[in-house]
Homo-oligomer: A and B are copies of this chain.
Amino acid sequence: MATVSVVSKLTARCEMCPSRSSGVCCGLSDGELEHLCGLMRHRRLQAGEQVIHQDDVSDVFAIIISGTVKLTRVLPDGREQIVGLLGPADCLGDLFLEGASHNTAECVTNTVLCCFPRDRFETYLRDHQDLERRLLTLAMRDLDEARDWLVTLGRKNASEKVATFLLWLLEKQQTAKASPFAASAATLELPLSRQEIGDFLGLTVETVSRQMTKLRAAGAIRLNTNHQIAIDDVDKLRRIAEQSSV
């Protein structure tokens, strides 16, 4: 009975965690979960804090519990590109990577992480193929998503880019909440600033701003605040995103 209470104490928070229901941790047995919980430490970070630094060796592997983290790369002359946007249940850290990380991971909002010492997590993986399989699946999902952005960055124009981005965020947000929204009248939390949206889409702040104004003028969206917008016409947004001139 004593052990049972210890188990429930350790893993209690896990039951609330998005990673337990839809992330790496889903599918873990109670025993596995308990073991991993022994390695884990929660960490609270403020917006702007960096978890991983480009060109530095990182020994962290973490699961995001709440908040948004951006992965960025910068060119020698300072130009910046966001190469990934992570939210609750997403993983952070380069497993099995030798040498320095190629990304900077920076908190966009206040964030709570579930952190593991990377080496101990990697060791644990060696005996748990199911978990490693899950990580392989996630890596392939990330790759697929990165390639989608290649299409957007390489072949779409500014309005298509912004519309695509908003739709992507909307979908991400809806699957996270698992709430079957009606096709219209959704509200969207925008964690990124205009500058950051530009850094994501390969545009300047001004262009992003202009496109938002255009979308507003077209009746597709309304700007509640700079970080919260109402999606009035999803279909119009979709048409703009793919310029399907039907």
Binding site for B on A (CB under 8 A): 71, 73, 75-77, 79-81, 83-84, 94-97, 102-103, 126, 129, 132-133, 135-137, 139-140, 142-144, 146-151, 153-156, 201-202, 242-245
How many monomers of this protein are in the complex? 2
Shortest CB–CB separation between residue A202 and chain B, in angstroms?
A: 3
A123 to B149, CA, bound (A): 32
A147 interface neighbour in B103, B129, B154, B156, Cβ under 8 Å? B103
Question: Do B79 and A155 have beta carbons less than 8 Å apart?
Answer: yes
Is the Cβ of A153 less than 8 Å from the Cβ of B202? yes
Which residues on the B side are within 8 Å of A154 (C-beta)? 81, 153, 201-202
Q: How many whole Å from A119's CB to the nearest CB in chain B? A: 15
Which chain B residue lies CB-closest to A128?
B129
Cα distance A102–B147 in the bound complex, in angstroms: 9
Q: List 10 A-B contacts (CB under 8 A).
A: A75-B242, A76-B244, A79-B155, A81-B155, A83-B150, A150-B153, A153-B202, A154-B201, A154-B202, A155-B202
Please give, as numbers and ranges, the residues of chain B lying within 8 Å of A136 by CB-CB distance.
95-96, 132, 135-136, 139
Is B132 a contact partner of A97 (Cβ separation < 8 A)?
no
Assuming the contacts A129-B129, A147-B146, A154-B153, asked whether A140 and B84 have C-beta atoms less than 8 A apart, the reply is no
Cβ contacts under 8 Å, A132 to chain B: 129, 132-133, 136
Residues of B within 8 A of A103 (CB): 147
Please tell me which one of the listed residues B75, B149, B155 contacts residue A150 in the complex, with CB atoms under 8 A apart.
Answer: B149
Contact at A140–B73, with CB atoms within 8 Å?
A: no
Contact, CB under 8 Å: B102 / A144: yes
Given A95-B140, A102-B147, A132-B133; 11 other pairs, CB 8 A cutoff: A71-B147, A77-B242, A97-B140, A103-B147, A126-B129, A135-B136, A136-B139, A146-B147, A146-B150, A154-B201, A154-B202
Query: In the bound complex, what is the Cα–Cα distance between A71 and B201 (angstroms)?
Result: 22
Q: How far is the CA of A140 from the CA of B156 in the complex (A)?
A: 26
Report B-chain residues with C-beta under 8 Å of the C-beta of A129: 126, 129, 132
Chain B residues with CB below 8 A from A140, complex form:
94-97, 139
